[in-house]
């Protein structure tokens, strides 16, 4: 029996949480079928960092690639979901005993519950030191279920920069509440927006096999 794909994307809706001060998401019908005589036509506005999205390195480094310049293969392939929702800080020591099964993508479940309509006051601290360790393990994509891999008040974005220096790209605001740890097929391709610092992602996973608790 073919295993089903699981959607781990935050749904865009007019009540979705947005970074304080950033452009809120808004969708509306620009023209109705009644007006056009044939079709409904919608329009929306959004920040590139609302909902499930990929950060381009250009987001935090003006000399780095924009989103359309990144290889789509980064965002397709096997991924390991790791449950760290019992921790408030993530350090190298939290990862050293984990079997990464040779994958090049990790998805960190950092929360047991995510409220997509309320922007969090804080997120777990992901220490920059994990970047070198993940690079040693062959990781080139990290996904998290929160708005940032750095503290929300950070201006230096040390973890963003450390990950990029080690060739690791970032997806934020995944939905992993109902996802068990283990190995999955993963697809999470960002929209191809020329010159953009990031882009919305439709992320899905499909269980490969039961590896038990990780």
Provide the strand spans (E) within the chain.
Answer: 6-7, 26-31, 41-45, 53-55, 76-83, 89-90, 105-109, 125-126, 141-144, 169-172, 182-190, 198-209
Considering the candidates 59, 111, 160, 169, report the single residue annotated as catalytic: 59
* Known catalytic membership, residue 127: no
Query: What is the CB neighbour count within 10 angstroms for residue 51?
Result: 23
Burial class (CB in 10 A: 0-12, 13-18, 19+), 175: buried
With H, G, I as helix, E, B as strand and everything else as coil, classify residue 100.
coil
Catalytically active residues, by annotation: 59
């Amino acid at each position: 029996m073919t295993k089903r794909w699981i959607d781990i994307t935050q749904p865009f809706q007019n009540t979705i949480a947005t970074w304080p001060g950033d452009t809120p998401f808004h969708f509306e019908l620009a023209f109705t079928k009644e007006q056009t005589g044939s079709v409904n036509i919608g329009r929306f506005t959004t920040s590139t960092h609302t909902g499930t999205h990929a950060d381009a390195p250009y987001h935090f480094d003006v000399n780095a690639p924009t989103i359309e310049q990144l290889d789509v293969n980064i965002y397709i392939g096997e991924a390991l979901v790791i449950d760290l929702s019992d921790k408030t800080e993530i350090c190298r020591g939290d990862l050293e005993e984990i079997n990464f099964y040779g994958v090049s993508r990790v998805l960190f479940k950092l929360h047991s519950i995510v409220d997509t309509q309320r922007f969090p006051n804080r997120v777990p601290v992901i220490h920059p030191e994990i970047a070198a360790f993940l690079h040693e393990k062959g990781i080139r994509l990290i996904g998290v279920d929160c708005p940032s891999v750095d503290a929300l008040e950070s201006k230096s974005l040390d973890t963003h920069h450390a990950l990029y220096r080690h060739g690791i790209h970032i997806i934020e605001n995944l939905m992993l509440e109902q996802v068990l740890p283990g190995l999955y097929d993963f697809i999470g391709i960002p929209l191809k927006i020329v010159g953009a610092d990031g882009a919305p992602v439709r992320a899905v996973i499909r269980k490969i096999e039961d590896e038990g608790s990780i």
